[in-house]
Amino acid sequence: MKKTALLIAALLSVGTLAQAQADTLSDIKSSGKMTVGIDPTFPPYEYTDDKGEITGYSVAIMQSFAKDLGVKLEFQKTAFSGILPGLISGAFNAEGSTLNVTAERAKKVLFTVPYSKTVNGVLVREDEAKALSGKPLSPESLSGLRGAVKTASVPEQLLKGFNSELKKAGKKPITIISVDSLDQTVSTLMTKRADFVYDDISVLAPVAKKYAGKVAQVGEVGPSQWMAWATRKEDSSLNKAISDHILAMQKSGQLTQLQQQYLGTTFTVPASDFIPQE
């Protein structure tokens, strides 16, 4: 009798899970709207413009998905620290803040295919570009040079890590010049107090465009991470719908256009094998 009860409970559990997998996408379609939790303070991905409207690269992709689905998109502003807890608790249908894809987060949520990546690049004065361009960059490429970074940033920590590698290899370290803002890193470069600026490629691309002919981005160096959205583990149908839409946008060229518009650079996003191993 006890075994029968357990079997019934297990079957009910499987049925509930199967139903849950279809619920969110079905609910969105039937209600005609999709509520998305978002922290619009991360340009150029998601931010609030001068008119008070939420915009950005990732926002444009989500708007495209909602339009294709034939539903209204409603943003629910949420502090970034509350995005994943809010998603998991069901406070909104989906989350719309750009997340770095990590093995730790993948234990809690289901990532869509990526739509961007974060990787740091090197910006130099135009007249110095030839010395570093045309070959893959590495910490050794920067040995003995002066690099400008924002204080307490990931790029600063990475340069410190490079110096540990260079020390072990018996090579000259990078002189790290830490300042408070991006504008100050660029100023440090332009006044020749630094040989290069080290920051995310999506941050450097607009700078290279603004100062075309004076500075140039010469390559990437250091680890990279894919960036994506996440859905609840049980929302596989919604996750697949979003992922398929991102890949369709890439195939049609729409994703490339948005990358050029908002990020100033382009890349191909993977359809699988993008979650790092622990």
pLDDT tens track for 98-140: 998 888 899 999 999 999 988 899 999 999 998 887 778 999 9
Determine which of 18-27, 68-77, 87-96, 252-261 has the lowest per-residue pLDDT on average. 18-27
Matching fold, domains 2-115+229-263 and 119-225: yes
Sign of CA dihedral 9, 10, 16, 19: negative
Q: What is the CATH number of domain 119-225?
A: 3.40.190.10
Quick check: pTM over 0.75?
no
The predicted pLDDT at position 104 comes to: 87
d(CA 200, CA 179): 16
Structure tokens at 151: 């204080």
Answer for the pair 186, 209: CB distance below 8 angstroms, yes or no.
Answer: no
Question: Residue 4 above 50 pLDDT?
Answer: no
pLDDT score of 212 more than 50: yes
In this prediction, residues 213-222 reach a mean pLDDT of: 93
Contacts for 253-256: CB closer than 8 Å, 24+ residues apart = 254/64, 255/61, 255/115
pLDDT computed for residue 248 by the predictor: 98
Confidence band for 227, pLDDT divided at 50, 70 and 90 = very high
What six digits make up the tokens of 172? 């000259």
Selected residue with higher pLDDT from 209 and 93: 93
29-33, 43-47, 86-90: segment of lowest average pLDDT? 43-47
Other C-beta atoms lying within 10 Å of the C-beta of residue 199 = 23
For residue 18, pLDDT beyond 90 = no
Given a contact cutoff of 8 angstroms between Cβ atoms, the answer to whether 143 and 166 are in contact is yes
Beta strands at 116-125 and 215-228: parallel, antiparallel or unpaired: antiparallel
Report the mean per-residue pLDDT for the chain: 89
Phi, psi of 41 (to 5 degrees): -130, 30
Q: By C-alpha distance, which of 134, 128, 265 is closest to 201?
A: 265
Instruction: For the beta carbon of residue 221, count every other beta carbon within 10 angstroms.
Output: 22
Using the predicted structure, report yes or no on whether residue 240 has a pLDDT greater than 90: yes
Of these ranges, 115-124, 208-217, 236-245, the one predicted with the greatest mean pLDDT is 236-245
Residue 192 is encoded by which pair of tokens?
């020749």
Decide: 225 and 276 in contact? Cβ < 8 Å: yes
Residue that has been written with the tokens 């890439």 in this structure: 250
Q: Which of 11-15, 22-26, 183-187 has the lowest mean pLDDT?
A: 11-15
How far apart CA 42 and CA 34 sit, in angstroms, is: 21
Percentage of the residues of the chain whose pLDDT score is greater than 70? 92
Any idea where the domains of the chain sit in the sequence? 2-115+229-263, 119-225
- Nearest-10 Cα torsion for 39, 217, 192, 172: 100
What is the third-level CATH fold of 2-115+229-263? D-Maltodextrin-Binding Protein; domain 2 (3.40.190)
Average of pLDDT values for 207-214? 92
| Tokens matching residue 61 | 């992709």
